[in-house]
Chain A
Amino acid sequence: MTTERVRVKGLSIYRPIIYGNTAVVLTPEEREAHPSREHTHRWTVAVRSAASAEESDIVGGADDLGYFIRRVTFKLHETYPNPSRNIDKPPFEVTETGWGEFEIQIRITFIPEAGEKPILLYHHLKLHPWTASGADVEVPPPADVAAQLGPVHSWQYDEIIFTDPFQQFLNTLTAHPPTPLPKARRRPVPFHIANPGSLEASKGGVPEFSSAMEKEEIQRLEEAKKSVVGEQEKLRASLTEKEKELERLRRELGEA
């Protein structure tokens, strides 16, 4: 047992996750039946594995994260009854109704074998449809229009990294290799405000994360870097020119 509590040095292991929410507009009938009349949306906030299962109607969640996550705590707005929701079993998600967007604090606690502290992350609950600019429209579209646009998805991909894990924990992790992301896009792309261009591609069904998105992002950053380097070259050329001129002027000043 003692050998199990040894850290494996020079190694880090990560697990791809996604966190975020899905929101749908309540139908008029549902609103009638609901105890609090002002609620307009039903939403689900969740922490899941990044890859989506075949034919599933949710974003991500192909793998059960319970093998390394012991508990996920979602801290909702204080106006909700019992705002701190502890979820001890997968699926790690909370479904609620409401009328407004707010920041949700998510605390992920790992299994004791990990010997790691919980990590905190934040998610802005997204109820209203995305716009290309990424900014919220002043007035959200009326309920019937929003309902026609379909469910709103707001998901963030991330990777939980364990550095120098305990041997035992490493064994646990390697016993559960994560489902790899699909190479190519099979379904709509999850919209992200860092990539406003993906708005069109995000429409038409349940989105799915794919490794093509990573490639696309690298390409986007590379393009930007290329133009930055181009600008630099231009600027450097003019700077060299100017420095030469300055030197010439100084020489003249010195001579005169």
Chain B
Amino acid sequence: MAGASAADVRSILSLPNSSTPASTQPKRAAPLARKPSGISRELYSLIGPSAPTLVAQAAKPRLKQKPNLGSGGSTKWEWRSFKNPARTDGLELGHWVKANTDPSADYPFARYNAKSADYTYTQDEYTKLLEDPEWTKEETDYLFNLVREYDSRFYIVTDRYEFATGPPRSMEDLKDRYYSVCRKLIRSRPWAGDEASKSQIISTFQFDKEREVMRKKYLLSLENRTSKELAEEEALYVELKRIEQNEKRFKQDRDRLLRTLLGAESGLPDLPIDEDGPLGDPKKKKKGVANELDSPATPSSSLFASAVPRRAQSAKSAAHDAMHCIQRTDGTTPAGTTTKATHQAAYLRSFRLAYPKAAVAAKVTQIAAELSISLSRLVMPTRDTLAQHEALLEGITTLVEMKKVTDRVDQEIRTAKMRLGMRESETPAETPMDVDEDVQAPDTPGEGRAQSVVSTRSGRSRKQTGTTNDRRSVSVSSVDTSATSATRAGTKRQKFS
């Protein structure tokens, strides 16, 4: 025997063999193995398979198979110029490409220039959904601008984050705000696809701040261990292993003893022997901890996991239900509350067709007509079509309300411009064009509007006072309408359900 085998080490450490099935496996398999070539049968039957050095020498030298280096002739490469669509300056660079590739194909790496979806929100949406005592709208705007600018690289965003009037923010604060806003926006906006894709995209914006903070704390403490602590941990682990194995052996011994004493047939079919040792399967446990640590802070997987079994369970009776046209409404009506008075009478499906709110009904119907959809009736009023119909109606209503807000903002812009124009004309007119250019400098697409300012100004300067008062009152009333539309939106849900 040359050198100590693994089994020897184990026996020295007084660890039983049984725990390492991997090492026993080949031993059992060996006698069954075929006689290797390059050794005579007689010799082989004498020494058996336990002559590795001899066999290795006697066996024919086996070389690694030659790698196939494209023996089918050499490939032709060409120097071609290409354009990267990610560049805005249209610079042309050259690179070597295989001659057989399609010269008209796009630059293959262009597809990695992916832009993440860019979420913006209107003032209306902000007041309705996104209010947060911790955050002002300005700071939220600032955050979204930074995230856009640095392409969602939160380390950079955190590094550059400098909002003068706000409290200091950690990366988790920023992420939490950003993702929660995105989630709310997705949830509230009508979704063009189906529900599954919506919940999927929401889950990609899932962020659990507590968990993330905890995770980083754990990681930090893991990194901050001293070598002494590491050694201690290692020692403890080995000790634990030893105890476990001792325990196991002790149990096995006890079991064997009991069997021999009482006899295997005397009614002790299975003594409860738990194989896992006192602390359960350490491997499993360790794996679980590791998972906990390195899984990203998206609890989406657990979300799906909890959703799946329910579906699987209901899938069993789904066929039965479909055949009999049964639809279950699990738990929406608490059991026992349905008395005769509250019992829902039989009805036709089409009775539950959602109808537009009276305030916007005319406009909604008009838009629906433009889409050649009749909102008042369906060809096949089933549960699915009704749901689709309701989603459509909701979408159109939002559209109409958004149009209203846009009109109001338009009106306010006009008023503001008018007042601005007036103020300018009030100042002694030295070089009005200069002032104008100043005004529109930060916003180049506003040229058309600036012109309108110029053109309307001359006419308006004559009747200044009258219009100001007029316009002011208008803007007040439009603020009024915004308030009512906000409250209306609050009641919207009830109306639809």
Contact = CB atoms under 8 A, between A and B. Distances in A.
A219 to B, nearest CB: 9
Taking each of A163, A173, A198, which has the highest tally of chain B beta carbons within 10 Å of its own beta carbon? A163
B413 A13 contact: no
Interface stretch (B116-124, B167-175, B229-237): B116-124
A248 B391 contact: no
A89 interface: no
A249 B331 CA distance: 53
B68 interface: no
B338 interface: yes
Contacts of A231: 399
A9 B347 contact: no
Nearest to A210: B380
B446 A232 contact: no
A235 B348 CA distance: 37
Contacts of A237: 120
A218 B395 contact: no
Interface string A54-97: 00000000000000000000000000000000000000000000
Interface string B359-390: 00000000110011110011111101100110
Contacts of B439: 252
Interface in A155-185: 156-164, 173-174, 177-178, 180
B345 A117 contact: yes
Taking each of B328, B371, B379, B416, which has the highest tally of chain A beta carbons within 10 Å of its own beta carbon? B379
B448 to A, nearest CB: 12
Interface string B436-468: 000100110010010000000000000000000
B392 A225 contact: yes
Nearest to B339: A7
Interface stretch (B19-27, B301-309, B318-326): B318-326
B329 A246 contact: no
A34 interface: no
B274 to A, nearest CB: 41
A174 B323 CA distance: 9
A242 B413 contact: yes
B321 to A, nearest CB: 9
A194 B384 CA distance: 16
A119 B381 contact: no
Nearest to A173: B324
A27 interface: no
B426 to A, nearest CB: 10
Contacts of B402: 232, 235-236, 239
Interface residues of B, number: 69
Nearest to B348: A158
Interface string B128-164: 0000000000000000000000000000000000000
A222 B398 CA distance: 16
Taking each of A14, A156, A250, which has the highest tally of chain B beta carbons within 10 Å of its own beta carbon? A14
Contact of A10 (B331, B377, B398): B331
B420 interface: yes
Contact of B367 (A119, A159, A228, A229): A228
A38 interface: no
Contact of A218 (B190, B385, B399, B419): B385
A12 to B, nearest CB: 5
A40 B285 CA distance: 85
Contacts of A12: 326-329
Nearest to B349: A159
Given A119-B348, A220-B373, A229 B395 contact: yes
B380 A196 contact: no
B328 A159 contact: no
A243 interface: yes
B341 to A, nearest CB: 13
Contacts of B372: 196-197
A161 B122 contact: no
Contact of A222 (B350, B380, B388): B388
Top 3 A-B residue pairs of the complex, sorted by shortest distance between their CB atoms: A249-B416, A159-B349, A221-B388
26 contacts: A10-B328, A10-B333, A11-B327, A11-B329, A14-B325, A116-B345, A117-B345, A119-B348, A157-B381, A192-B377, A194-B373, A194-B374, A209-B380, A217-B379, A217-B380, A218-B388, A222-B192, A228-B392, A229-B192, A229-B395, A239-B402, A240-B121, A243-B122, A243-B409, A249-B416, A253-B419
Interface of B: 120-123, 189-192, 323-333, 335, 338, 343-350, 367-368, 371-374, 377-382, 384-385, 388-389, 391-392, 395-396, 398-399, 402-403, 405-406, 409-410, 412-413, 416-417, 419-420, 423, 439, 442-443, 446, 449
Given A243-B409, A256-B423, 10 more contacts: A9-B333, A16-B325, A119-B348, A156-B350, A194-B378, A228-B371, A236-B402, A243-B122, A245-B443, A252-B439
